[in-house]
Amino acid sequence: MSNSCERLNAISLFSGAGGLDIGFENTGFNIVFANEIDKNAAATWRANRPYGEVMHEGDLLDYIAAFSAYRGVDVVFGGPPCQGFSVAGKMNPDDPRSQLIWSFLKVVEEAQPRAFVIENVRALARLSRWREVRSGIVAYASDLGYDCDFEVYSAGDYGVPQNRERVVFFGIRKDCGRAKQFFSKMQQKKSKPKDLKEVLLSAGEYGTAENPQTCTSHVSLAKSPVLRKSPYAGMLVNGAGRPMNLAGAAHTLPASMGGNKTPIIDECALREDRENWFETYHRRLLAEETTPDVEVVPDTIRRLTVKEAALLQTFPANYVFSGPKTAQYKQIGNAVACNFAEAIGSSVAETLL
């Protein structure tokens, strides 16, 4: 852990399993208050931190008054639940989860930190239907005395082996600096991710104590497959889980993993130098040399494990997840990828120091 910013303190909101927290901790931040409403995620956060007593479990609004005691804290950071904004959801502006961004800013109003960071889905920054929300965030922050702006980033540019785009809002008290300083720092933090195959192999042998099977959802072929140019797009199987292209980057890991939305791996292609079974199947479908009803999915086709998913989110290999397996997958899918989070934390520290 770097000691470049030991004197900086942080408040963590919507902490989840602690992905964003890891990024800030790895750049020397001391978390003085954390909040998470999900009991399994809160248990995970505590299980990996010797100072877990700073985790306050429950509804954030129940703690609003407490934040005045932290006035002047260096940074408030968090990723308010994004389902209300996500294209994977219903994008309902009346979704209660869409309102939690304003709860976050209420904490900023109470704590008056030197800076704040909000992480969320790309759609919040790009879709016209959310124009009023994003402009409202900037305006609210400005009224509180903060210079605030936002930018969309690909986590793949920050050492994460996923195609995962997220928006980052950064606000800094006008007496402490300007937001453009943070975004300039972020441009300097880019790094290439490890090869996807290398990351998956580092999890250990599938089905062993080191990397146990954690999803038993059967992989079955779609009777009416939707074909695209790539076997890793379209719909070759039932459910939303797609085959993983071991020669590329993973698709964004969803919080809905645990059943048939869990990504699919060809174990033979992973362990041996051979073509992914789905590439062969896709090519034969296009050539009309086969149909789904005559094909048999090999036993070597299986689902991504909790450990592998966590490594793809760049969690430490020894990170402990609490709760049922579906809850663990959810925590991982909802998390901010740790390497990306570290770039954010480091950029905040350099902006404030």
Catalytic residue list: 82
How many residues make up the chain in this entry?
353
Which two three-digit tokens encode residue 320?
């402990």
Question: Please, which residues have CB within 8 angstroms of residue 229's CB and are 6 or more apart in sequence?
Answer: none
Output the DSSP codes for 164-221: -EEEEEEEEETTT--HHHHHHHHHT--BPPPPHHHHHHTT-SBTSSSB---------E
Containing 134, the helix (H) or strand (E) segment is helix 131-143
CB neighbourhood size of 126 (10 A): 14
Strands (E), 218-275: 221-226, 235-237, 250-251, 264-266
β-bridge mates for residue 20, sequence order = none
End-to-end, the C-alpha distance of the chain in Å comes to: 17
Q: Are strands 165-173 and 235-237 parallel, antiparallel or unpaired?
A: unpaired
| For the chain, the helix, strand and coil percentages under 3-state DSSP, each to the nearest 5 | 40, 20, 40
Containing 15, the helix (H) or strand (E) segment is none
The values of phi and psi at residue 278, to 5°, are -70, -25
The values of phi and psi at residue 160, to 5°, are -115, 120
